[in-house]
Amino acid sequence: AQSVTQLDSHVSVSEGTPVLLRCNYSSSYSPSLFWYVQHPNKGLQLLLKYTSAATLVKGINGFEAEFKKSETSFHLTKPSAHMSDAAEYFCVVTIYFNKFYFGSGTKLNVKP
């Protein structure tokens, strides 16, 4: 069985400071992992994905995530937050790409 735990439901940072959104996963097999972002009243946009290649994955808008098998983690980071990063972020795991398991989401607030 697969599952995802996003450790923080809300994260608040100041503009220009680093962002860390935490995600732990559980999977019986080698997973593929994703981060999606959802801006208010918008759909889901893929930020980045890990599919068993390099463990440090770079995505759009300066985000990156590192797959750590020993820690079963896939935390999302960005060196410097921008106001436009304020959104809800979802960590997602899948094995066979027919079913995607979502975390409960982390709302990122960016203060000026």
Partner 1 sequence: EAQVTQNPRYLITVTGKKLTVTCSQNMNHEYMSWYRQDPGLGLRQIYYSMNVEVTDKGDVPEGYKVSRKEKRNFPLILESPSPNQTSLYFCASSGRRVPEAFFGQGTRLTVV
**Is there binding between residue 31 and partner 1 (CB under 8 A)?**
no
> How many CA atoms does the CB half-sphere of 10 hold within 13 Å?
3
Measured CA to CA, the distance from residue 67 to residue 33 in angstroms comes to 8
Q: Which is nearer to partner 1, 15 or 22 (CB)?
A: 22
In terms of DSSP bridges, do strands 87-94 and 56-58 run parallel, antiparallel, or are they unpaired? unpaired
**Residue numbers 51-110 binding partner 1 by CB under 8 A:** 51, 90, 92, 94, 97-100, 102-105
Q: Which is nearer to partner 1, 85 or 105 (CB)?
A: 105
Would you state the structure tokens that stand for residue 107, as one six-digit string? Answer: 């709302």
* 83 phi/psi in degrees, rounded to 5: -55, -35
In the complex, the residues that contact partner 1 under the rule CB under 8 A are 4, 6, 9, 32, 34, 36, 42-44, 46, 49, 51, 90, 92, 94, 97-100, 102-105
